[in-house]
Amino acid sequence: MKLQAVELVRVRMPLVRPFRTSFGVQEGRHVLLVRVITDVAEGWGECVSGDVPSYNEEWADGSEQVVRRWLAPALFALPSLDSARVLPSLGHIRGHRMAKAALESAVLDAELRAAGLPMAAFLGGVRDRVEAGVSVGITGTVGELLDVVAGYLDEGYRRIKLKIEPGWDVEPLRAVRERFGDGLALQVDANTAYQRADLPHLLRLDEFGLLLVEQPFEPRDLAAHAELARRGSTPVCLDESIESAADAATAITAGACDIVNIKAGRVGGFLEARRVHDVCQAHGVPVWCGGMLETGVGRAGNVALASLPGFTLPGDISASRRYYETDVTEPFAVVDGHLRVLAGPGLGVTVRDGLLAELGAVRDTLRAV
């Protein structure tokens, strides 16, 4: 396959409701989509970096620049291209995994479209639908939180994840358990908001029978996560700490995680995400598919990834309308508590050019010089 052009598409997507986490409030996303044009087919990828470098070091404007200046030129320079070669060919550029993942997704999508093979089948998926879970932001009041959770349960979500931070943990959890009962599949995500000194406080979460507590401490502090895992009964899950399959092996060996949240963007693409899955499976560690408020482009890949056998817990995989009034692809819906794995070639979605235009998307095509 020969790479002919890389198109960068920037579009501002307002969220249907603000999303508050321990690192801030988000009203929308300045999405970066990448389209590759090759001699055999075209393909799409979504860069999941946020507007602000707070989840990790990447941010969407920076991702766009690194694709323009370094990543796309490196791929144009290759005599021939295939998806397995994308990440290794970009090894001389440190980090920027989300930008690399977007390019890899686009190349893989093009390759699979040309071959007529769906992404899920290529990755080794074993399910034709995946359980829908939803990540619920921090709200102004506990009453508001209960209303939001009730709304999602009415829509059929199978599992609720609450964002927590110091001052917003025990009280909302108690209220949610009281209102919805012990049968509700419930977990929490702190996005690194706690300090090691908070460990005794975090042990109080054990009384709520949670599926897991996600990333309470700094990404590099595996020891703190290991101590929590040892002393508490709630399974510890890592998100921000895991940037590769090697990281997953290290964290598991250190006793720092019982469960891993896999996000293709965070680890450099769907191929590395599958390697993380494989490492976890070999260690008997369950995984689930995280989300980064993706549009339909990224969501299609997430659903395909979540169809792999080791994804035994419901992911942060929600309907398009949980995020956006109108999606850039055909919208994903929750049916009977699940999202359907797409059966078309590649990602299986069609990007709606007319809608991108309506949303005021800015598009720019890069070519080999």
Q: Which is nearer to Mg ion, 64 or 240 (CB)?
A: 240
Q: Which is nearer to ligand OSB, 133 or 345 (CB)?
A: 133
100 belongs to the catalytic site: no
161 belongs to the catalytic site: no
Query: Interface residues for ligand OSB in 167-196 (CB under 6 A)?
Result: 189, 191
The single residue of 2, 100, 161, 163 carrying the catalytic annotation is 163
Q: Which is nearer to ligand OSB, 25 or 40 (CB)?
A: 25
- To Mg ion, the closest distance from the beta carbon of 361 in angstroms equals 28
Residue whose entry in the numeric block shows the structure tokens 């389209």 = 35
Closest residue to Mg ion, judged by C-beta, is 239
Query: Interface residues for Mg ion in 171-200 (CB under 5 A)?
Result: 189
Q: Using the rule CB under 5 A, is 239 a contact of Mg ion?
A: yes
Query: Interface residues for ligand OSB in 39-98 (CB under 6 A)?
Result: 55
Q: Which is nearer to ligand OSB, 41 or 48 (CB)?
A: 48
Instruction: Fill in the per-residue mask, 312 to 341: x = in contact with ligand OSB (CB under 6 A), - = not in contact.
Output: ----x-x-----------------------
The residue count for binding ligand OSB (CB under 6 A) is 11
d(CA 257, CA 260): 7
Question: Which partner from the list Mg ion, ligand OSB, none does 38 bind, CB cut-off 5 to 8 Å by kind?
Answer: none
Q: Which is nearer to ligand OSB, 89 or 295 (CB)?
A: 295
By CB atoms closer than 10 A (0-12, 13-18, 19+), residue 203 is middle
Instruction: Fill in the per-residue mask, 258 to 297: x = in contact with Mg ion (CB under 5 A), - = not in contact.
Output: ----------------------------------------
Question: Which partner from the list ligand OSB, Mg ion, none does 104 bind, CB cut-off 5 to 8 Å by kind?
Answer: none
Query: Interface residues for ligand OSB in 191-230 (CB under 6 A)?
Result: 191
Question: Which partner from the list Mg ion, ligand OSB, none does 291 bind, CB cut-off 5 to 8 Å by kind?
Answer: ligand OSB
Which token pair is 6? 């890389």
Query: Interface residues for Mg ion in 199-228 (CB under 5 A)?
Result: 214
Instruction: Let me know: does 102 contact 67? Beta carbons within 8 Å.
Output: yes
Instruction: Fill in the per-residue mask, 268 to 307: x = in contact with ligand OSB (CB under 6 A), - = not in contact.
Output: ----------------------xxxx--------------
**For every residue of the chain, which 3-state class applies, written as one string?**
CCEEEEEEEEEEEEEEEEEEECCEEEEEEEEEEEEEEECCCEEEEEECCCCCCCCCCCCHHHHHHHHHHHHHHHHHCCCCCCHHHHHHHCCCCCCCHHHHHHHHHHHHHHHHHHHCCEHHHHHCCCCCEEECEEEECCCCCHHHHHHHHHHHHHCCCCEEEEECECCECHHHHHHHHHHHCCCCCEEEECCCCCCHHHHHHHHHHHHHCCCCEECCCCCCCHHHHHHHHHHCCCCEEECCCCCCHHHHHHHHHCCCCCEEEECHHHHCCHHHHHHHHHHHHHCCCCEEECCCCCCHHHHHHHHHHCCCCCECCCCCCCCHHHCCCCCCCCCCCCECCEEECCCCCECCCCCCHHHHHHCCCEEEEEECC
Catalytic residues: 163, 263
Interacting residue ranges for Mg ion, rule: CB under 5 A = 189, 214, 239
Interacting residue ranges for ligand OSB, rule: CB under 6 A = 55, 135, 189, 191, 239, 290-293, 316, 318
